[in-house]
């Protein structure tokens, strides 16, 4: 934008806000504030209740029409599977009992439709909001969305879904419907007060290729329509009222990042081979089937972690063996000729799906393989599903949250049962299927040598390992700043696991967040890690670093790092390393939070 | 009026998908239909209502029908619960 425009639009000071980078990319433009909360509902008395009922009818019909349109757009742009989330919206808008109650109340109390709709919906949403179940809480948001849609249509306000120009949309909470609907314009980016990187809207933004920063808490308070704004989806920041020099800086970076992106992507298919010939594998962590097309474009050597529990959310129940096998088969066929590592359901912890089941200390409770061993039929079904998929391409099985050798032995025994039962039924499967264990509990880390005797590979989960080693719950704001995956104790434990695996003659992988952090790549390489598994978008970056590194030097460098006794020193050494050798990667991937 | 207590048998309880099937099944009958759990009562023909029941595996729910086809409706819905919403 020109400096004249900026001066006119931004009488205030430049302001930087920190949030969560939900979809990568840099956007520079003007803000378009999408207001939706703040629908003030007044309680009014009405004389003509028949007219009020007609207004309601029209608003509900209009709402259903809108949702159908969004549904169709979603199917067209991102496919049936992701579009399914809009079906529930449609069902709610045609709930006869609910709307009959609303209509009766309007007639009886002679109150305005807005007031009655709002109070009746709120009753329902409150019921769900109190639920500890993640699925039910997501439903609460969807019901809220239906309510706001009807209220807006009662006010006969058109949804601001078409606009001129190329704005950056700023809103309190981006719903999945917004993400899809607004993308029909040439929107440069999304900014929101609430939301996380894993919310549906964020996932959709990434699929649509629209940069987004979410969870900014107060973005809507600081932004007005038309004000200049810069969005940095790499680092999760926005700059409101940027100075001319800031705009210039970000324009250069944007060009720089885009050039780097295209360079990295063009080399993505090259093997992850160090300059002195050590070959490691760089694989993808997959959460959604929609991410599968990224495997080939981002040069993934297979899938190092296929999370199976998200399909429970998609199905709103645990899918049966055949349903699971169908999904797994899709992943296997897409990853061919490389392997897919299926992690058995990791339910529990912060991901509780069993309604009415609450624990005081879920991270130390009934989760991962512990829960599955208590529900052997669930585990057996899942094994059978993975085994069925193994007839179509290479599969591996991985157990999460293992604490003891005994758990591995028991799970292996159930796997053998599953194999036998398929054998009897004459179902094809890969008889040489490999089994591995996620090492994410300190007791398992210390016993990795013994565990390694029972499996074909180990895979390190750094998030849980760090939280258990340091006794820090990172969702607890009071101690979250003590969560430090570069803590010397964590790094020494990583080395111990890798050495133990190698001693037993098996490969060691890492599928935790650290594997995708470019700051750690040279160090992990130097520790001897065999396989890196990370979000697809990071794979070209990891490959670039690995291909530019000498393995022998990395080993020497890592030995020095492991002697250090403070996370600060380790991180500043690694930051300096990355900044001096890979300046553009440093800028586009290392957020302020973890480079400071 | 007829009543019968049933137990939610499928692993993940009365979630959106079975809730929708249940409401669709109930709509085939003329009788009024209510579900009650621990004193919380919802209309069985409302998807929003049934969803707020948040009934997990093992939850005991009282089904209540009133109307000309109440026996047939009760039999159909009890069977639906017994089949674990076809998710077993």
pLDDT at B54: 76
- Structure confidence by residue, pLDDT tens digits, B24-51: 899 899 999 999 988 889 999 888 888 7
Taking alpha carbons only, the member of A154, A149, A155 closest to residue A181 is A149
pLDDT at A81: 58
Task: Please report residues of A whose CB lies closer than 8 A to that of B10.
Answer: 317
Taking the alpha carbons of A78, A80, A83, A85 in that order, is the dihedral positive or negative? negative
Q: Is A96 touching B (CB cutoff 8 A)?
A: yes
Q: Are A310 and A365 in contact (CB under 8 A)?
A: no
As a whole number, the mean pLDDT across chain B is 88
Number of domains observed in the structure of chain B: 1
- Give, for A207, the enclosing helix (H) or strand (E): helix A200-208
Cβ burial, residue A162 (10 Å; 0-12/13-18/19+): exposed
Are the Cβ atoms of B49 and A98 closer than 8 angstroms?
yes
Task: Please report residues of B whose CB lies closer than 8 A to that of A124.
Answer: 48-49, 52
pLDDT at A312: 79
- In angstroms, the separation between the Cα of residue A409 and the nearest Cα of chain B is 25
- In angstroms, the separation between the Cα of residue B53 and the nearest Cα of chain A is 8
Choosing from B2, B9, B15, B37, which is the catalytic residue? B15
**The two three-digit tokens of residue A560, written as one number:** 């020095």
pLDDT at A38: 54
Q: Is A320 touching B (CB cutoff 8 A)?
A: yes
pLDDT at A313: 67
Taking alpha carbons only, the member of A102, A74, A319, A287 closest to residue A184 is A74
Angle at A488 between CA A484 and CA A493, to 5 degrees: 100
Active site residue A130: no
All structural domains of chain A, each given as residue ranges with its CATH number in brackets, are: 3-38+160-261 (3.50.30.10), 49-154 (1.10.274.10), 267-595 (3.20.20.60)
Residue of chain A whose Cα is closest to the Cα of B55: A355
- In angstroms, the separation between the Cα of residue A137 and the nearest Cα of chain B is 10
Q: Is A316 touching B (CB cutoff 8 A)?
A: yes
pLDDT at A349: 54
Q: Is A377 touching B (CB cutoff 8 A)?
A: no
Q: Which of A124, A317, A318 lies closest to B48 in CB terms? A: A124
Distance CA A275, CA A337 (A): 25
Distance CA A26, CA A202 (A): 16
- The alpha carbon of residue A413 and the mean position of all alpha carbons in its chain are separated, in whole angstroms, by 33
CB proximity under 8 Å: A 148-177 to B: none
- Structure confidence by residue, pLDDT tens digits, A138-171: 667 777 888 888 988 888 776 666 777 889 999 9
- The CATH number linked to B11 is 3.30.1340.10
Q: Is B13 touching A (CB cutoff 8 A)?
A: yes
pLDDT at A198: 64
Q: Is A548 touching B (CB cutoff 8 A)?
A: no
The DSSP secondary-structure symbol of A169 reads E
- Top residue of A316, A318, A351, A371 to mutate, by most chain B CBs within 10 Å, is A316
Distance CA A543, CA A49 (A): 67
Q: Is B9 touching A (CB cutoff 8 A)?
A: no
Q: Widest CA span of chain B, in angstroms?
A: 33
- Structure confidence by residue, pLDDT tens digits, A331-387: 999 999 999 999 999 886 555 455 556 677 778 888 899 989 998 999 999 999 999
Active site residue A511: yes
Place of tokens 């590592």: A341
Spell out, as residue ranges, where chain A has pLDDT lower than 50. Answer: 1-11, 352, 591-596
Q: Is B2 touching A (CB cutoff 8 A)?
A: no
Are the Cβ atoms of A124 and B43 closer than 8 angstroms?
no
Task: Please report residues of A whose CB lies closer than 8 A to that of B58.
Answer: 356
Identify which has the larger pLDDT, A176 or B76: B76
Give the residue numbers spanning the domain of B70.
Answer: 2-86
């Amino acid at each position: 934008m020109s400096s004249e425009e900026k001066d006119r639009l931004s009488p205030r000071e430049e302001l930087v806000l920190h949030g969560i980078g939900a979809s990568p990319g840099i956007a520079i433009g003007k803000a378009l504030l999408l207001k939706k909360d703040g629908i003030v509902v007044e309680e009014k008395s009405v004389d003509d209740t028949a007219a009020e009922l007609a207004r309601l009818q029209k608003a509900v019909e209009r709402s259903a029409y809108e949702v159908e349109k969004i549904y169709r757009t979603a199917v067209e742009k991102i496919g049936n599977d992701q579009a399914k989330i809009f079906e529930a919206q449609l069902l709610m808008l045609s709930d006869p009992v609910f709307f009959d109650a609303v209509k009766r109340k309007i007639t009886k109390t002679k109150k305005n439709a807005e007031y009655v709709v709002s109070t009746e919906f709120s009753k329902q949403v409150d019921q769900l909001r109190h639920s500890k179940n993640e699925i039910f809480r997501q439903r609460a948001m969807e019901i809220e969305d239906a309510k706001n849609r009807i209220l807006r249509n009662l006010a006969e306000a058109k949804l601001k879904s078409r606009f001129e120009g190329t704005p950056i949309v700023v809103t309190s909470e981006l719903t999945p419907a917004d993400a899809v609907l607004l993308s029909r314009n040439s929107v440069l980016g999304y900014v929101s007060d609430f939301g996380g990187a894993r919310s549906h809207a964020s996932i959709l933004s990434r699929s649509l290729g629209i940069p987004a920063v979410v969870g900014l808490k107060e973005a809507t308070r600081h932004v007005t329509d038309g004000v200049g704004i810069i969005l940095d989806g790499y680092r999760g920041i926005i700059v409101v009222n940027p100075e001319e020099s800031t705009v210039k800086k970000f324009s250069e970076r944007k060009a720089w990042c885009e050039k780097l992106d295209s360079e990295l992507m063009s080399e993505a298919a090259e093997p992850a081979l160090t300059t002195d010939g050590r070959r490691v594998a760089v694989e993808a962590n997959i959460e959604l089937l929609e991410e599968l097309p990224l495997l080939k474009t981002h040069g993934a050597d297979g899938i190092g972690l296929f999370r199976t529990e998200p399909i429970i959310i998609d199905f709103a129940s645990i899918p049966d063996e055949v349903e699971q096998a169908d999904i797994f088969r899709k992943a296997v066929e897409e990853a061919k000729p490389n392997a897919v590592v299926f992690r058995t359901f990791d339910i529990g912890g912060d991901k509780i799906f069993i309604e009415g089941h609450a624990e005081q200390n879920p991270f130390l409770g009934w989760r991962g393989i512990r829960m599955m061993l208590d529900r052997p039929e669930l585990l057996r079904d899942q094994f059978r599903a993975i085994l069925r998929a193994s007839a179509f391409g290479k599969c591996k099985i991985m157990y999460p949250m293992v604490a003891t050798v005994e758990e591995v032995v028991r799970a292996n025994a159930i796997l053998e049962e599953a194999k036998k039962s398929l054998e009897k039924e004459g179902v094809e499967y890969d008889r040489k299927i490999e089994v591995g264990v996620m090492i994410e509990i300190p007791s398992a880390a210390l016993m990795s040598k013994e565990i390694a005797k029972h499996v074909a590979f180990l895979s390190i989960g750094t998030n849980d390992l760090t939280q258990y080693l340091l006794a820090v719950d990172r969702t607890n704001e009071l101690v979250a700043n003590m969560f430090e995956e570069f803590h010397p104790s964590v790094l020494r434990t990583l080395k111990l696991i890798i050495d133990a695996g190698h001693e037993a003659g098996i490969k060691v992988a890492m599928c935790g967040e650290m594997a995708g952090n470019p700051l750690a790549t040279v160090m992990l390489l130097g520790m001897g890690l065999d396989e890196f598994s990370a979000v697809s978008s990071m794979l070209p970056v990891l490959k670039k670093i690995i291909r530019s590194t000498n393995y022998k030097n990395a080993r020497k460098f890592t030995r020095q790092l492991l002697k250090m006794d403070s996370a600060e020193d380790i991180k500043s050494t690694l930051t300096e390393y990355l900044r001096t050798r890979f300046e553009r990667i440093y800028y586009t991937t290392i957020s302020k939070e973890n480079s400071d | 009026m007829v009543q019968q207590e049933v137990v939610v048998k499928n692993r993940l309880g009365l979630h959106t998908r079975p809730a929708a099937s249940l409401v669709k099944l109930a709509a085939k009958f003329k009788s009024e239909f209510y579900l009650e759990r621990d004193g919380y009562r919802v209309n069985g023909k409302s998807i929003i209502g049934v969803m707020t029941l948040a009934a997990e595996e093992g939850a005991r729910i009282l089904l209540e029908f009133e109307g000309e086809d109440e026996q047939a409706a009760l039999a159909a819905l009890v069977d639906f619960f017994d089949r674990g919403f076809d998710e077993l």
